[in-house]
Amino acid sequence: MISNAYDLFWQYRDVYLTGIRNALLAAAFGLVLALAIGVLAGIARYSSCGLLRGVVAVYVSLVRNTPLLVQVYFIYFGLPAIGITLSAFSTGVLALTFNSGAYIAEMVRGGLNAIPRGQTEAALALGLRRRIVLYRVLLPQAAPTILPAITGQFVQLVKDTSLLFTIAVLEITKAADDVGNDSYQFLPAYLVSCVIYIALCVVLNLLSDVYESRAGFSKHKRA
C-alpha cells in the first residue's frame, strides 16, 4: 500500500504539487484578508458603539452557527445570482476570508478584553484620545495573546481548503480525487493526500512554535 502510494505520488507529482500550491495560496490569501476584517471587526466588538457591535455580533453568530461548506456554497452560488462572477479559486478565498474573519474578530476582542480596564482609564486620564489609546496602548498589549492564535488559524485554513474541492478548486483533496479517477486507485491516492496534509501541518506548527519562541510568546498563551 505504501509503495503503491509513493509510486502514485511520483507518477502524478505535478497534480499533487499544483494542489499543494493552490491550497497554500488560498490559505495565505484568506488569512491576510481575514486578518484585516477580523481586526476591524474585533475592535468594533470591543468599542462602545452599539450599532457596530450589533452588526459584527450578527456576522460572528452567522459564521459560528453555520458549517463552512454551507458558506462556500452560499457564496459560490449566491454571487452569480446578484451579477458578480468570480473564478472558483477567488470564490474559495472569499469563503475562507468570510469564515476566518469572524474567528479572528473574537480573538481580537478576547485579547482586548483581557487587558485590565485601568490601562484605558490611565491613558484617558493622561489626555490621550480613545483612538490613540486603542492603537498605541491596548493593541500592543493584546498582541502576545492574539498573534499565536492567528498563526494557528493559518494551519486550520490549510485544512479548510479541502472543502474547496466541492467547487472544483484543484487543491490537495481535489488532486487526490483526480488521481483516483485517472488511476482507479482511490485508497493510495487519498493516502498520499493524507500524508501531505500531515506533513504541511506539522511543518507549519513547527514554524509557528519557532516564531512564538523568537517573539517571546509562550505556548500557554495560545487562544
Residue ranges of alpha helices (H) inside 47-134 are: 50-64, 68-81, 88-113, 117-125, 130-132
Res. 20: pLDDT tops 90: yes
In Å, what is the CA distance from 163 to each residue of 73, 110, 183? 10, 28, 23
For residues 183 and 49, the model is more confident at 183
Res. 202: pLDDT tops 60: yes
- pLDDT class for 220, splitting at 50, 70, 90? very low
Mean pLDDT computed over every residue of the chain: 88
- CA-CA distance, 119 to 128, in Å (whole number)? 12
Average the pLDDT over 182-190 and give the result: 91
pLDDT in tens, 128-149: 887 888 888 888 888 888 888 8
**CATH code of the domain covering residue 115:** 1.10.3720.10
Number of domains comprising the chain: 1
Res. 200: pLDDT tops 80: yes
Range of the domain at 12: 2-221
Q: Is the Cβ–Cβ distance between 223 and 145 less than 8 Å?
A: yes
| Cell of residue 129, nine digits | 484620545
